[in-house]
Each structure stands twice: as structure tokens, then as C-alpha cells.
Chains A and B, each alone.
Chain A
Amino acid sequence: MKLQRRTFRVFWDVHAWAGVISALLLYLMFFAAAFALFHPELNDWAEPRSNAAAHEPPSLQPLLVQLVREQRARAPTHIGFWRHDSALMADLRGSEGERQFRYASDRKQLEPLRSNLGSFLYELHYLGPIPYGIYLAGLAAMAMCLALVTGVLIHLKDLVRQWFQFRPRCATRTWASDMHKLLGIFGLPFQLFYAWSGAVLCLAYVAVQPAFTATVFRGDQTAALATRGYTEAPAPTGKHSSRLVDLDALLVRARALLPGLEPEYVALENPFDEASVVQIYGTQSQFTFGNAALTLRASDGQLLHASSFASASALQRFEAWFYGLHYAEFGGYGVKWVYALLALATCAVIGTGNLVWLERRDRARAQLGNRVLSRLTVGVVSGVPLAVATLFVANRSLPAALLNRTTVEQAVFWIALAVALLCPFLVRSDRRVAGRQLALAGALFALALFVDLLTRQPLLADAVQRGVASALLLLAALCLAAGIRLLRPSSRAAPRSPECDARTLASAGE
């Protein structure tokens, strides 16, 4: 199908502008996404005292007693336990904000978290650490939706050819355009779904749901929540209760109520109030995306609310699939690795998209706006991997007993990113800066792996350590290869050579 000349021109401009406006944020989000997929494993790996020992899931009751004994002065209003294959975490909200703990299997008790590397990269995926970042991420996802749809429309006429065309020896504009389209078409279903689900996750709660509640549900928030299988936790009565709930007994009851339930998150709301409730979220392994949730009254264990995949409505089943696909809650590590590689491929699509914009419109970077865009692109594309690599090295190098260790780790990341963004403005050659920063990122990923192997005993003892070591090795190789390639003198064919010339213009859609 071929578009009319004017339609083609309009969609071309929309594609280019939507892409270039959102590109740098999207690059950061997709690069962090590759790590966010493994954030529980990374949290486990990043903990300084974590030494492989695979442990049986511990009983929650002794840990709850420990938390209440040690943290009572903080007047906790929420205590949550979050269980993953390899780790058990706890979070506590009270008068002094939120605190996180991790189960130390050798001491059989909870200890304050000393690194949240995995959670930090997970939050970075939706720009959580930046003020109003989640809304910015939502807007970037919307721009990505627009860029993808218009991108497909302008290439409908030669979609199959673009899938198989890559000419690495041609001019920058040609190989960048080829790579942009090849990886863009290859990852299109992944990118379209993530742009859509990302926009929903970041913006629906503030932009769509209030409008639906006000109109469709006539302002009835409880009815709106009920259709999604949620209930509001009862408000505290203010009447004090000194009896502590028995979490293990309630988990046994929950498993009896929902056979096959594997609890993943157990939350105790308002622990010292008469209206205290226990909320249990988990999965039922007999169903794909079989999410289940229970609310039990803490005082007597009475069931207040239950939802499971078997009794779910059409909306709840759709949402289980929609969010399950976004969070890769299926297919195990194989699918997560494929997702991670597609996320990195999307980073390449985004980076080459900006390069095509610059090479096509202002090859000499004569205009100030294009010079700034060029340097920001170099700063972000090579700076984000460098900052993440620095974060990994900091995690492995900082003393375990350091006060506010998580804050220091994150400060190292932001400083590294700021320096990497500044460098292209200080050094004239964009290519050289990008090459150096990527090569340095590769060296730092390799250093993080080296320090990890040196300091951990027994070596590569568990699957998490082996997985992270493989990922660090892969990232080091990718960054070093890209950096060295950029630092080598260019040996491309002249843009007017027969191989590149005729089809360059055709492939650019001109």
C-alpha cells in the first residue's frame, strides 16, 4: 500500500518529531527495562552480605515479631513481606517514612537493606526517581505509540524489504537508517505493546480511571475498584489492639481457600488497630497469569474479599494477561532474556533514529538546535550504559558497613550520568566521546564482574550469581565492541558509491 505524497510527508514529519522529542527519555527507560526484568535477582545479588546460600522460604511469624519488637517506636501502619524465589524482603511504613529489610538466611532474621540496586533500576525504567517522572514516562510512551504507528504507515510500501536490508559499509545516514528500520520492524510487536502498556501503566491511573469513575460509575469509587477485583482496606478505627496476628496461620487458611496459591506478597495493614487486615497477593500455578488476592480480617481470620483467575471477569482476565505480558510473568528466564535483548535492540532503534534525523537534516551540525541534540544524543546513548556500569562497580566496591549505602550508590549513578552528559559539550568530536564512553562502560562492566568474582565465596555457587555474571560479561562485550568500533577511523564506502547511492535515497523514502 502506497500513501499519497502529502499523507506520506505529514506522517514522516510526525514520526520524526515524535521520535526525536521522546527519544532520550525512551532510551533511558528501555535500557533500564533490560535490568528491571531481573530486579528481584539484582537486589539479591547486590546485597553485600549475600553469599549464595539457597534457602528454604522462612516462616513469616518470627520475622513479624522481630519487626514489631524492633520498629514499634516508628508506629508502623503497614508491614509487607515480599517473597521471590531467591529472596525475602520486607517493607515497613510508619511515622518516619518507609524502610526496607532483607532476610539474612545465615542469621535467620531481617536486616536493613544495604543496597537496592535492582529496585533503583526498576524505578528508573518508569523514571520514578525523577520528580513527576512517571508522567513524563507516560507521555514518552504515548509519543512512542505515535512514532511507531506513523513509522509503520510510511514504510508499509516496502516493509518486507526493510526487514532484510542492512548495509554497514555505507555512509552513516544509510547504515543508521537501515539499522533503525531493521531492528524497528524486527521488534515492532514488542515495541508497540510496551508503548501501549507503558502509557496505560503510567497515565491511566491519573488520566483515564478518574474520568471513567466519574461518568461510567457515577462517582462510585468502590464499584470502580470492585470491577477490577480490588477492595479498599478498611479505615483504621482508632481503637488499639494489642494482639498480634498469626501470619503463618492465615497463610495456611489462604491456601485452603484458594488451592494452589503461591503467596508472593503478604501485607499487614494497620497492625495495632481493631480494623487491621491481612492482604495476600500471589499466583495460582495451574493458570497462566493466574493472579489471586485475598483480604482477611486480622482479628479472627474472616475472609473479607477474594479474587482468583478462576472466578475473574473478562476485564480482570484481560488485565492479568496485559500486565503479565508487560512484566514477563511467563516462560521463565528464557522469555526474560529475549525481552531484555529486545529492550537493548529498541535502544539501538532510538539511537539510530536520532542519528538519521541529524544526518538527514543537518549533516554539518550547523544549527544550534541540532548541535545540542547531537551532543545530548551522544551523552545519553553512551552515558546511560556508563552510569549503570559505574553503579555496578560502586555496589561491589563500597564498604558493606557504609552508612546510607543505597543513597551513596544512587549518588554515584547520577554523578556519572551528569559527567557523561556534560562531556560531549566539552569535547568537539561526538564520535570520539561516544566511543570513549562506551569503551569505558564496557571496561567498568568487566571490572564489576571481576570484583564480584574476587570477593564472593563460593564462586558462582547459585543461579542468580551465574546469571548476573553472564549479563555483565555480555554488556561488557557489547559496550567494548561498540566503543572500539566508534574509536577506529571510519572506513566506510563513499556515500556516492554504487552500492549505497541509488538505494540510499529509496530507503530514506525520498
Chain B
Amino acid sequence: MPVAIAVGIALTLALPLSANVRLTVGSYAVFPVWVTVACFAFLAPNARRAWLLLLTALVLAAFTSLVAIALGRGTPPTWSGR
């Protein structure tokens, strides 16, 4: 679930769409992303690989979010426009 939430936040901050559409996609993608991530994790050959997959996805999502924030996206005034 933390990975899915991190991916949702990354989508909200980084997608090249208007602020409200990004928020819509990001916040409502969390549960579908969770299902997808869970399916891939179950397919991993062993538990260590599964944890590694989850950790990689989490780091990628966090890095994307940080880059997006550094570029000035995600501050509340952004949300005034549709």
C-alpha cells in the first residue's frame, strides 16, 4: 500500500496534465496501482526479489515526486486553476 500511495502522489505531481486532472488520476489510481503492484510482487521468484521490486518502485516514485516538487509543482497555489 505505501508503494501504491507513493506512485499515486508521483502521478499527481509529475503527469503533464492540468492540476485537477493530475490530482484526479493520482488519487484514484492508488487502488488499481496496488492491485498491479501486488500481482507483480506475487510473481517474483522469491520473497527477497518481491521486497526488492517493492523497494525499487517506492524509490522511483519518491524520486519522481522530489523532482516534480523541485520543479515547483504541487504547492497549493497550483490548485487554483482547473
Which A residues lie at the B interface, using CB under 8 A? 7, 10-11, 14, 142, 145-146, 149-150, 153, 196, 199-200, 204, 207-209, 211-212, 215-218, 220, 223, 226-227, 313-315, 318, 322
A315 to B27, CA, bound (A): 10
A216 x B82 contact (CB < 8 A) = no
A215 to B64, CA, bound (A): 13
A200 to B5, CA, bound (A): 12
User: Chain B, 9-20, contact with A by CB distance < 8 Å: what is the 0/1 string?
Assistant: 100110000101
Cβ-closest chain A residue relative to B69: A215
A217 to B18, CA, bound (A): 16
Residues of A within 8 Å of B79, CB to CB, are 217, 223, 226-227
A209 to B23, CA, bound (A): 11
Within 8 A of A (CB), among B10-58: 12-13, 18, 20-21, 23-24, 26-28, 30-32, 34-35, 38-39, 42-43
B13 x A216 contact (CB < 8 A) = yes
A314 x B76 contact (CB < 8 A) = no
CB B7 to nearest CB in A, in angstroms, measures 11
Residues of A within 8 Å of B30, CB to CB, are 204, 208
A–B complex contacts, Cβ < 8 Å, 25 sampled: A7-B43, A14-B39, A14-B42, A145-B34, A149-B39, A150-B39, A196-B31, A196-B32, A199-B31, A208-B27, A208-B30, A211-B5, A212-B8, A215-B65, A216-B12, A216-B13, A216-B26, A218-B74, A218-B76, A223-B76, A226-B79, A313-B82, A314-B20, A314-B82, A315-B27
B20 x A208 contact (CB < 8 A) = no
Most buried by B among A142, A208, A218, A322: A208
Interface class of chain A by DSSP: helix
Residues of A within 8 Å of B75, CB to CB, are 218
CB < 8 Å A-B pair total: 82
Which B residues lie at the A interface, using CB under 8 A? 1, 5, 8-9, 12-13, 18, 20-21, 23-24, 26-28, 30-32, 34-35, 38-39, 42-43, 65, 74-76, 79, 82
Residues of B within 8 Å of A212, CB to CB, are 8-9, 12, 23, 26-27
Beyond the given pairs A216-B9, A313-B82, 15 more chain A to chain B contacts, judged by CB atoms under 8 angstroms and listed by A's residue number, are A7-B43, A11-B39, A11-B42, A14-B39, A142-B34, A145-B34, A150-B39, A200-B31, A212-B12, A215-B9, A216-B74, A218-B76, A226-B79, A318-B28, A322-B28
Cβ-closest chain A residue relative to B30: A208
A149 x B13 contact (CB < 8 A) = no
Of all A-B residue pairs in the complex, the 5 with the closest CB atoms, nearest first, are A223-B76, A314-B20, A313-B20, A315-B24, A220-B76
Residues of B within 8 Å of A11, CB to CB, are 39, 42
Residues of B within 8 Å of A223, CB to CB, are 76, 79
CB A123 to nearest CB in B, in angstroms, measures 22
Residues of A within 8 Å of B13, CB to CB, are 215-216
A227 to B79, CA, bound (A): 7
A216 to B24, CA, bound (A): 12
Cβ-closest chain B residue relative to A209: B27
CB B55 to nearest CB in A, in angstroms, measures 18
A199 to B76, CA, bound (A): 27
Residues of A within 8 Å of B42, CB to CB, are 10-11, 14
B35 x A145 contact (CB < 8 A) = yes
